[in-house]
Amino acid sequence: MKNMNKIRHPAVAGLFYPASKSKLEDEIKTLLSISDSEKSFNNIFGIVVPHAGYIYSGRTASYGFNLLKNKYIETVIIISPSHREYFPGISVYEGDGYETPLGVVEVNKELINKLTGESRVIFKGIEGHRQEHGIEVQIPFLQVVLKDFKIVPIVMGEQGDLYIDELAEKLYHVVDDKTVIVASSDLSHYYMSDVADKLDSIIEKRILDFDYENLQKDFKIGNCEACGGGTIVSMMKAAAKLNRKKSEILYRCNSGDTTGDYREVVGYLSAVIYGE
Q: Residue 204 pLDDT more than 70? A: yes
Give, as one character, the DSSP assignment of residue 107.
B
Model confidence pLDDT, tens digit, residues 113-158: 999 999 999 999 999 999 999 999 999 999 999 999 999 999 999 9
Model confidence pLDDT, tens digit, residues 178-202: 999 999 999 999 999 999 999 999 9
Residue 1 pLDDT grade (very low, low, confident, very high; cuts 50, 70, 90):
low
Mean residue pLDDT of the chain comes to 96
Q: What pairs with residue 44 in β-bridges?
A: 274
Of the two residues 2 and 241, the one the predictor is more confident about is 241
Q: Residue 39 pLDDT more than 90? A: no
Look up the CATH architecture of domain 39-274: 3-Layer(aba) Sandwich (3.40)
Model confidence pLDDT, tens digit, residues 216-271: 999 999 999 999 999 999 999 999 999 999 999 999 999 999 999 999 999 999 99
